[in-house]
């Protein structure tokens, strides 16, 4: 199913909640409607969302019709939904122009973390990421970013996430204007009401975007995709190292003034030696950073192998003995296409193989 909107069509859902409220209040005043209608309308954008205005039964039928004409509510098209035996849910959303993006919901006890996309595709070409094989398609709008949460809630209210991480398709800080607005939507009391400390922006180290994020007053979390403590070997995994040097990225992270997380995918023979652990420990202690160790998802990177379970444990223990807080994140969704970009790549391959009508 393709989404029901145009990329260039105006929508209240692309606006930070306070800007959307101002637009609604102006519209209400111009039509000499009761001022309290603005509160009812605002609630239906994010707090208690509806697929379409006709479902907002607290509003008069005539007003619902006028709202549908003035402020149509877009939605993302659900193309594919896969559920792992471990509870992980992977969703492929189809956008209005045929592009597709992914979200992954990871339940863990009372915690439900939703991993969202900020771009269709990615230009960075990290060798361990399936999204990089897509290439860059386009930036997402604020609605297309925050709308991944909205659509999930509409489809299944019980799946409302407790945490959101910008770790899906794309580099969020290369789409800062839209991500900036989406952060407001996620956090605002008239938006999705997620606490800032429950929202994490992950970056490979885009310095201008890191500065923009630092300038925001909210306590949003920052995660840095590190993956090697050695710049010369990091560039072989992450070509962005040529533009934004690791030393400069870490200097900017130190200015962030909040707890930083290092994301580190362990790849057999590439970044999992004891010497890598020692150098990573030095960098983490300098920033007081937490380290998330992630086994390479085998479906996301042909030609690369995940480090063995024993090697991962030894690597983590070496970090801990050096005074670094390190957590090994177990691979989730191994029985579904849960690696970032993997579901898209597999679905597109099937489409190409299918006979044309």
Q: Which DSSP letter does residue 296 get?
A: P
Which structure tokens are listed for 258?
Answer: 């909040």
- Strand duo 111-115 + 100-108: pairing: antiparallel
As a whole number of Å, the CA-based R_g of the chain is 21
Which structure tokens are listed for 91?
Answer: 């969703």
Q: Which DSSP letter does residue 269 get?
A: T
Q: What b/e readout covers 213-238, taking b as 16+ CB neighbours within 10 angstroms? A: beeeeeebbbbbbbbbbeeeebeebb
Helices and strands: H and E segment counts in the chain: 11, 12
Backbone angles phi, psi at 81, to 5 degrees: -135, 125
d(CA 65, CA 265): 51
**Catalytic residue positions, numbered:** 102, 340
Count the neighbouring beta carbons within 10 Å of the beta carbon of residue 64.
Answer: 20
Q: How far is CA 345 from the centre of its chain?
A: 18
Q: What b/e readout covers 239-259, taking b as 16+ CB neighbours within 10 angstroms? A: bbbeebbbeebbebbeebeee
d(CA 47, CA 188): 10
Write out the DSSP string of 109-171: TTEEEEE--SEEE-SS--TT-GGGGT-EEEEPPHHHHHHHHHHHHHH-GGG--SEEEE-SSS-
d(CA 353, CA 108): 37
Q: Is there a contact between 248 and 207 (Cβ–Cβ < 8 Å)?
A: yes
């Amino acid at each position: 199913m393709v989404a029901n909107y145009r990329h260039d069509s105006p929508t209240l859902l692309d606006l930070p909640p306070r800007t959307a409220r101002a637009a609604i209040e102006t519209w209400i005043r111009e039509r000499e409607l009761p001022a309290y209608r603005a509160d009812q309308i605002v609630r239906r954008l994010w707090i208690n969302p509806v697929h379409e205005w006709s479902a907002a039964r607290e509003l008069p039928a005539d007003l619902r019709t006028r709202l549908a004409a003035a402020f149509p509510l877009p939605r993302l098209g659900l193309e594919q939904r896969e559920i792992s035996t471990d509870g992980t849910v992977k969703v492929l959303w189809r956008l209005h122009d045929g592009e597709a993006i992914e979200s992954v919901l990871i339940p863990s006890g009372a915690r439900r973390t939703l991993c969202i996309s900020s771009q269709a595709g990615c230009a960075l070409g990290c060798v361990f990421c399936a999204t990089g094989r897509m290439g860059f398609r386009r930036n997402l709008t604020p609605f297309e970013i925050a709308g991944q949460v909205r659509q999930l809630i509409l489809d299944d209210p019980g799946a409302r996430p407790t945490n959101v991480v910008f770790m899906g398709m794309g580099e969020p800080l290369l789409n800062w204007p839209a991500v900036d607005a989406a952060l407001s939507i996620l956090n605002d009391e008239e938006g999705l009401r997620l606490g800032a400390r429950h929202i994490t922006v992950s970056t490979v180290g885009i310095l201008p975007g890191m500065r923009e994020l630092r300038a925001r007053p909210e306590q949003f979390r920052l995660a840095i995709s590190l993956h090697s403590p050695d710049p010369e070997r990091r560039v072989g995994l992450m070509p962005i190292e040529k533009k934004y040097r690791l030393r400069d990225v870490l200097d900017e992270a130190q200015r962030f003034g909040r707890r930083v997380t290092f994301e580190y995918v362990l790849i057999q023979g590439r970044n999992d030696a004891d010497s890598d652990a020692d150098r990573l420990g030095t960098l983490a202690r300098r920033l007081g950073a937490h380290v998330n160790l992630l086994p390479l998802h085998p479906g996301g990177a042909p030609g690369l192998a995940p480090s063995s379970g024993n090697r991962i444990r030894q690597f983590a223990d070496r970090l801990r003995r050096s005074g670094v807080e390190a957590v090994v994140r177990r691979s989730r969704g191994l029985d579904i296409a849960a690696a970032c970009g993997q579901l898209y790549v597999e679905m597109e391959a099937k489409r190409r193989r299918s006979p044309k009508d």
